[in-house]
């Protein structure tokens, strides 16, 4: 098509643009922007991407239902690479420059503490969705008035896992254990919590060696040979995502998994799928499983995710989904978006969700969630990858968590 663009057409188009500009600006201003930063590149990016995928599904669902307060929502994504200073900078930028009115902090613990200080300073509503280090919300000195957390918590996992593993260790007579966890707040704190409860349930437990590889370490050869030299009967590891995949692949060629029993709470569907020769019999927690809780709602969500993204969701996926569900309910309740109002609404709120062990999850007064599904089973090298799942007892988890908080002088 050949078109002649005359001066008159250009002027008319320009005038139309000027007239339309306020409407466009108003439409943009009417959009509610929600900032989210996560690890979207590197060995852990699988989890960050799965967080973003889940939020995009929520964005579609919420917008189809009319948005928040009649405004369509738009989630603004940024890659922090898991670096604390970058995460803090991005959090400020999302609020101050990008106009985000709510935050989803989908960081690992390596960066969530830095974001927490930004949130405290800005007073903006924020839900941490992936940081599991217990002190982030358990320690009153670190807790921020408008920051909440929808994520597994190390101490919850530690109680649940220790009960399961102590029974397993007693049955198999496994007393000599090794640990291998990432060398940052989550790895250090959560390993300590596991060992504390593990020793409580199995006093004859002996940790004969520890290894602390860096997050994103490319080569675990030295770690693996060190573990082999120590000759433990069993290994507990908190490695995850690409690190866990590399560790298992490298461990396989040393026949590590035939030399010791292995337990890890951190296997996600895509990680299991990425490991080419997944050893059977690894004792493992259910990060996210379509079959646990075994309810139609959970299965429906898992299959919808798979249909949209052609891969299985992760633990980080469901946590981000629940964060948006909490925002949705809280905004409906108070009809407001400011930090104080939403904080009041979120505190003590209970919502219906497929990821609760009884179909509900509660946001406790200490800004952390309870009642989410925690189970342990063992791996098989094909879907559903984890079988024989035993659900954890939340009554016991809360009882021992309270003891732990007292020991830490948090309460």
Partner 1 sequence: MDLNALGACLTTSACVVTQTTSGLIVGMLLFLVAAGVTLIFGVLKIVNFAHGTFYMLGGYVAYTALGVTGSYALAVLAGAVSMAVFGVVFERALISRVYSSNVLMQLLICYAVVLIFDDLVKIIWGPEFHAMGMPPTFQVPPLFIAGGVVPPFYAVLIGIAALIAVVLGLGLSMTRLGKTVRAAAINAQMVSALGVDTTLLFAIVFAVGGGLAGLAGALAAPVRSLSPGMGFSVLIESFIVTVIGGMGSIAGALVSALLIGLVRGFGTIGFPQFTDGLIYIVMIAILLLRPQGLFGRRL
Least CB distance from residue 240 to partner 1, whole Å?
11
| Selected range binding partner 1 among 64-72, 108-116, 220-228, 315-323, rule: CB under 8 A | 220-228
Least CB distance from residue 310 to partner 1, whole Å?
12
Q: Is 372 helix (H, G, I), strand (E, B) or coil?
A: strand
Give the Cα separation of 157 and 107 in Å (integer). 18
Binding mask 277-306 for partner 1 (x = CB under 8 A): x-----------------------------
Return the structure tokens found at 46.
Answer: 């699988």
Q: What is the CA radius of gyration of the chain?
A: 23
| Selected range binding partner 1 among 25-33, 128-136, 226-234, 379-387, rule: CB under 8 A | 226-234
Q: Of 288, 161, 186, which is closest to residue 236 (Cα–Cα)?
A: 161
Q: Do the beta carbons of residue 38 and residue 80 sit within 8 Å?
A: yes
Tell whether residue 242 is a contact of partner 1 (CB under 8 A).
yes
Give the Cα separation of 372 and 38 in Å (integer). 22
Least CB distance from residue 228 to partner 1, whole Å?
6
Q: Do the beta carbons of residue 36 and residue 101 sit within 8 Å?
A: no
Give the Cα separation of 384 and 405 in Å (integer). 35
Give the Cα separation of 199 and 236 in Å (integer). 13
Least CB distance from residue 158 to partner 1, whole Å?
23
Report the residue from 9, 21, 25, 255 that binds partner 1 according to the rule CB under 8 A.
Answer: 255
Torsion on CA atoms 165, 167, 172, 175, rounded to nearest 10: 70
End-to-end CA distance of the chain: 75
Least CB distance from residue 303 to partner 1, whole Å?
21
| Selected range binding partner 1 among 8-16, 62-70, 210-218, 400-408, rule: CB under 8 A | 210-218
Tell whether residue 85 is a contact of partner 1 (CB under 8 A).
no
| Selected range binding partner 1 among 113-121, 134-142, 268-276, 350-358, rule: CB under 8 A | 268-276
Place of tokens 């905004």: 331
Report the residue from 201, 254, 306, 309 that binds partner 1 according to the rule CB under 8 A.
Answer: 254
Rank residues 249 and 362 by Cβ distance to partner 1 and give the closer one.
Answer: 249
Report the residue from 250, 295, 329, 360 that binds partner 1 according to the rule CB under 8 A.
Answer: 250
Binding mask 24-53 for partner 1 (x = CB under 8 A): ----------------xxxx-xx-xx----
Q: Of 118, 38, 20, which is closest to residue 78 (Cα–Cα)?
A: 38
Phi then psi for residue 21, to 5 deg, are: -50, -50
Q: Which spans of this chain sit near partner 1 (rule: CB under 8 A)? A: 40-43, 45-46, 48-49, 79, 210-212, 216-219, 221-226, 228-229, 241-243, 245-246, 249-250, 252-255, 270, 274-277
């Amino acid at each position: 098509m050949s078109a002649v663009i005359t001066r008159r057409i250009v002027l008319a188009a320009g005038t139309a643009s000027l007239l339309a500009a306020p409407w466009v600006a108003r439409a943009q201003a009417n959009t509610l922007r929600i900032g989210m930063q996560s690890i979207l590149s590197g060995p852990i990016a699988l989890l960050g991407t799965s967080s973003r995928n889940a939020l995009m599904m929520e964005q579609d669902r919420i917008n189809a239902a009319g948005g928040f307060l009649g405004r369509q929502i738009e989630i603004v994504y940024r890659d922090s690479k898991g670096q604390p200073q970058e995460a803090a900078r991005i959090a400020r930028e999302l609020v101050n420059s990008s106009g985000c009115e709510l935050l989803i902090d989908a960081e690992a613990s390596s960066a969530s503490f830095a974001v927490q200080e930004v949130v405290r300073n800005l007073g903006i509503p924020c839900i941490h969705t992936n940081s599991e280090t217990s002190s982030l919300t358990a320690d009153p000195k670190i807790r921020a008035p408008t920051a909440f957390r929808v994520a597994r918590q190390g101490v919850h996992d530690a109680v649940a896992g220790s009960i399961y593993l102590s029974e397993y260790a007693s049955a198999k007579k496994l007393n000599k254990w090794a640990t291998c966890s990432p060398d940052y707040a989550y790895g250090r704190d959560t390993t300590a919590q596991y060992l504390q409860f593990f020793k409580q349930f199995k006093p004859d437990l002996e940790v004969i060696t520890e290894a602390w590889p860096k997050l994103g370490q490319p080569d675990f050869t030295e770690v693996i040979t060190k573990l082999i030299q120590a000759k433990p009967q069993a290994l507990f590891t908190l490695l995850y995502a690409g690190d866990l995949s590399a560790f298992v692949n490298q461990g396989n060629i040393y026949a590590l998994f035939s030399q010791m029993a292995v337990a890890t709470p951190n296997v996600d569907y895509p990680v299991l799928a990425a490991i080419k020769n997944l050893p059977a019999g690894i004792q493992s927690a259910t990060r996210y499983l379509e079959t646990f809780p075994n309810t139609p709602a959970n299965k429906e969500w898992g299959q919808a995710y798979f249909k949209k993204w052609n891969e299985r969701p992760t633990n980080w996926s469901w946590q981000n989904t629940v964060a948006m569900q909490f925002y949705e309910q809280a905004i409906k309740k108070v009809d407001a978006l400011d930090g104080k109002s939403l904080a009041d609404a979120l505190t003590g709120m209970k919502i219906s969700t497929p990821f609760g062990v009884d179909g509900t999850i509660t946001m406790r007064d200490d800004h952390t969630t309870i009642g989410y599904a925690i189970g342990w089973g063992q791996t098989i090298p094909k879907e559903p990858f984890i079988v024989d799942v035993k659900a954890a007892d939340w009554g016991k988890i809360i009882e021992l968590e309270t003891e732990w908080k007292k020991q830490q002088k948090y309460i």
